[in-house]
Chain A
Amino acid sequence: MERLFKFLYYYRASFTFLLLEFFCAWLIVANNQYQSTKYFNSSNRVVAWLNTSAQNIREYFLLADINATLSRNNAMLLNKIEEQSQRLYRMQLHQRPDSSVEKNFQYIQARVINNSTKFYKNFITIDQGQADGISVGMAVTNSFGAVGKVKSVSKHYAVLISLLNIDNQVSSVLKRTGQFGTIQWDGTDPSYIDLKYIPRHVIPLVGDSVVTSGYNAVFPPGIFIGKIKEFKLRDEALFYDIKIELGQDFGRLNFVEVINAKRKAEKDSLELITIGEPR
């Protein structure tokens, strides 16, 4: 027994090293799973405060840019409303009271306070949290297209898993042909993303739009992701290798909308009953 203790003491540095490294490895693996470790990330209050002040300084210099984007969006939305109300007017539907129209998707506006595009696994922190009705698994978009989904929330902040994260897969559809595929980032260039699992018989074209499919009910269907930049079909490959140019510059993300899909729980529980636990 004494010799055992001596042995342990003699190699204490190596043992501590192994212990710490195993602990870290466990943390890395545990953190890779979809939702875990709520407290040790940038939705922590102190960290978020520091990030907010850094972002405030940066935003000050970008104000002109942000204003231009916002006013452009505003104009676009006003046009859309006008168009819709014209249509509704002809159909005599506009007299229905607002409250009788059920909203499937509710939008919550949020500001990005921390963001990265340069790592393999990128996350975005926003300044809205549980108190504002955000919960884990909600989709996040802005006027240029899909942004990501909520990974963890604290009271006033939330961390999103960005589209630019090699672990994040989003079900999507080739708008022109209606073929389903999966969007996944390859970890290199932040302005391009890969579309996978488009089978050989489909004929994609450069410039085709790719939008979300709405199958996983995280994203509403039809949210823009990007346009096909190039594609190739290797011999004996089952699927195309398609590169997609993203609709937005993730490096300049400022304001986003979190989407609360009201019927997601209903759909999920129905699927759980019929299909069973998702894998």
Chain B
Amino acid sequence: MTRSNIIFFISFFAYVIAQAFLKKLVLFNSGFCFLYVAFILLMPIETNNLVLMLLGFIMGFTVDIFYDSLGLHAFTTVFIAYIRNYWLSVITPQGGYDAGAVPKISEQGLQWFLVYTLPLVFIHHLVLFLVESAGTLFWYSMLKTINSMMFTMLVMVLLQYLTSDRART
């Protein structure tokens, strides 16, 4: 087990516990924070699709146990894990990614990070709310999606600044 693997292992539990406590924090009745998506989104760029999907499944399944919504979060997280690498190859910057690059603000810059995460987080939330309501309530789900997206993105970006500073010193 290499050092980075251990870090991923610990961060998995950190995300799960954080998510369990974030369950109560809902803004304006419709803004949720699904921070656990960051676990999949912040994996190194070269991570294999299969590994991502399996990790996404385990993460989603664990979150589902806390949310009493068996299969729901697993479904959406696997979906995000699948399309993540395709999206990464679409938005490859000129000259490509460095070997062992990580999709973080500290390495790729804020603008690139927003282009990378915003659509994925949006799709994740939209799929989540649509599947939960079984396709009914489309516009209310859209409202929830946009509010939750802003909330999740804000927390995700803030956390990036907080943690990357600590890593540098």
Please report the total number of A residues contacting B with Cβ < 8 Å: 39
**A119: Cβ under 8 A from any B Cβ:** yes
Chain A residues with Cβ under 8 A from B161's Cβ? none
- In the complex, what residues of A have CB within 8 A of residue B29's CB? 118, 189-190
Contact A13 B82 (CB under 8 A): yes
**Nearest-Cβ distance from residue B54 to partner chain A, whole angstroms:** 8
Tell whether A88 is near chain B: CB-to-CB under 8 Å.
Answer: no
Additional A-B contacts beyond A24-B60, A26-B71, A125-B68 (20; CB < 8 A): A16-B53, A20-B53, A21-B75, A24-B74, A28-B75, A40-B65, A42-B65, A47-B66, A50-B66, A114-B23, A118-B26, A119-B69, A119-B132, A120-B133, A121-B132, A123-B68, A187-B136, A187-B137, A188-B137, A188-B140
Complex Cα distance, B131 from A166, in Å, reads: 13
Q: Is the CB of A31 within 8 A of B71?
A: yes
Q: How far is the CA of A31 from the CA of B70 in the complex (A)?
A: 6
How many angstroms from the CA of A174 to the CA of B131 in the assembled complex?
33
Across the interface, A58 reaches (CB within 8 A) one of B20, B24, B53, B64, namely: B24
Interface string of A25-38 (1 = CB under 8 A from B): 11110110000010
Within 8 A of B (CB), among A98-131: 114, 116, 118-121, 123, 125
CA distance A186 to B136 in the complex (A): 10
State the majority secondary structure of interface residues on B: helix
Which A150-196 residues have a C-beta within 8 angstroms of B? 159, 166, 186-190
A254 contacts the other chain (Cβ, under 8 Å)?
Answer: no
Residues from chain A with Cβ under 8 Å of B133 in the complex: 120, 166, 187
Contact of B21 among A26, A54, A190 (CB under 8 A): A54
Residues of A within 8 A of B (CB): 12-13, 16-17, 20-21, 23-28, 30-31, 37, 40-42, 44, 47, 50-51, 54, 58, 114, 116, 118-121, 123, 125, 159, 166, 186-190
Restricting to B45-74, which residues have a CB under 8 Å from any CB of A? 49-50, 53-54, 57, 60-61, 64-72, 74
